[in-house]
Structure 1
Amino acid sequence: MSDPLCARLRQATEGCLRQARPLLAERGRRMPTVPVRCDLRGRAAGQVRRCPDGHIEIRYNLDIARLQPEDFLAQTVPHEVAHVLVGWLYDRRVRPHGPEWQAMMRYLGAEPERCHDFALAETDSPRRQRRWAYHCACREHLLSTTRHNRIRRGQRQYQCRGCGEILRPR
């Protein structure tokens, strides 16, 4: 059974994408197909995810959406759609909340706010990632569990932006 709020989030996402159709056509771009999932957890309200096969999807946090559904629809949906559209329109890499994204938010009729301000009680989001201590030649770094696990599996190496050395576990 599908959640009615998730269905509204999908409709609002499709509406924002349709609203940008003239802008995309003007720049010779076709409308992207963007699947919407309502499975995000934690403190993030929404997320744009580029999947390994190259397609893009939007994930929303229903627990946060239920706190203030109308505000969530008015702010979070255009926020995430703006990320998709900016990525689709520009061939170069742009800052996630830079001027291009801010202009897209205004085009979609929303204020360009970087973070949500939904009041979250500690019990609303019990999951918190542990931080893992790593070091380089110049200092200590705290890496998320996700990055820690990628290093452990040999999938990735991270290096310090200061000294350029590969990070090692403490």
Structure 2
Amino acid sequence: MKPDDSLFQQVQNRVSECLALAERHTGRRFDPPLVCFNQRGRIAGSAWLEQWELRFNPVLLTDNAHDFLSEIVPHEVAHLVVFALYGKVKPHGREWQAIMAEVFGLEPRTRHRLNTEKVAPVFSYDCGCRIHKLSLRRHNKVLRGQLRYQCLHCGQPLIRVKAPHKRKTT
């Protein structure tokens, strides 16, 4: 499902708000970045520093608009601000953490907590002590016989949990 234009506009507006906060805090002016909605997979957003571009995942945005506006957008804008102020530094280093906390008043979390099953399916595997979720990439490697995984806790090999068959009712 594709977000409607008003949601795209809300993200654009939030990017502008975040840049204005950073400008007031740092005393520097920041050009508006190119904002795209072409991020794919589990990634909610990304900052392309040299291109001065932000990319957001339209599928995750549609299902998680509040999280995007409150956390994902400031997270990505912080990467651009840090790049403008300090150049290339650790992506989630102390400079980025300071922008997140001091400018945006947010906990500097490096990963989002959005449900990504819609954009990146997972496959259940059992070891005997717990169920493990493997990504599509890892699952395919198992199917092709390229890799075998084992549980880090009990050391047993992971065995695919077959989905239960749905019985036809007659």
Give yes or no for TM over 0.5.
yes
Query: TM-score, normalised on structure 2?
Result: 0.64
Corresponding position: 1:64 with 2:73? no
Amino acid at match of 1:80: E
Q: TM-score, normalized by length of structure 1?
A: 0.64
Hey, what does 1:3 align to over in structure 2?
A: 5
Alpha-carbon distance in 1 for matches of 2:136, 2:29: 38
Report how far residue 88 of structure 1 moved.
0.4
CA distance in 1, matches of 2:21, 2:84: 15
**Can you list the C-alpha shifts for 1:54-84, whole angstroms capped at 9, x where unaligned?**
5311011111112221112111001000000
Cα distance between partner residues in 1 of 2:136 and 2:16: 31
How far apart are residue 32 of structure 1 and its match?
2.2
Contact 2:39–2:57, Cα closer than 8 Å, also in 1: yes
Asked whether the equivalents of residues 16 and 32 of structure 2 are also in contact (C-alpha less than 8 Å), the reply is no
Preserved contact between residue 42 and residue 128 of structure 1 (Cα < 8 Å): no
CA contact (8 A) 1:10 1:36 kept: yes
Name which of 73, 92, 111 aligns with 1:97.
92
Cα 1:3–1:125, aligned 2, differ >3 Å: closer, same or farther? farther
Name the structure 1 match of 2:23.
21
1:114 aligns with 2:116: no
Contact 1:67 1:118 in 2 (8 A): no
Count how many residue pairs are aligned between Structure 1 and Structure 2.
Answer: 122
Tell me the distance in 1 between the aligned counterparts of 2:82 and 2:136. Answer: 30
Amino acid at match of 1:18: A
The residue correspondences of 1:46-61 to structure 2 (distance < 5 A) are 46-50=45-49, 54-61=50-57
- CA RMSD after TM alignment: 2.3
Question: Quick check: 1:45–1:116 contact (8 Å CA) kept in 2?
Answer: yes
SS of the residue 1:116 aligns to: coil
- Which has the larger Rg? 2
Instruction: Say whether 1:75 aligns with 2:71.
Output: yes
CA distance in 2, matches of 1:63, 1:8: 15
Question: What is the CA–CA distance in structure 1 between the aligned matches of 2:110 and 2:43, rounded to whole Å?
Answer: 12
Residue 101 of structure 1: how far off its partner (Å): 0.3
What is aligned with 1:37? Answer: 36
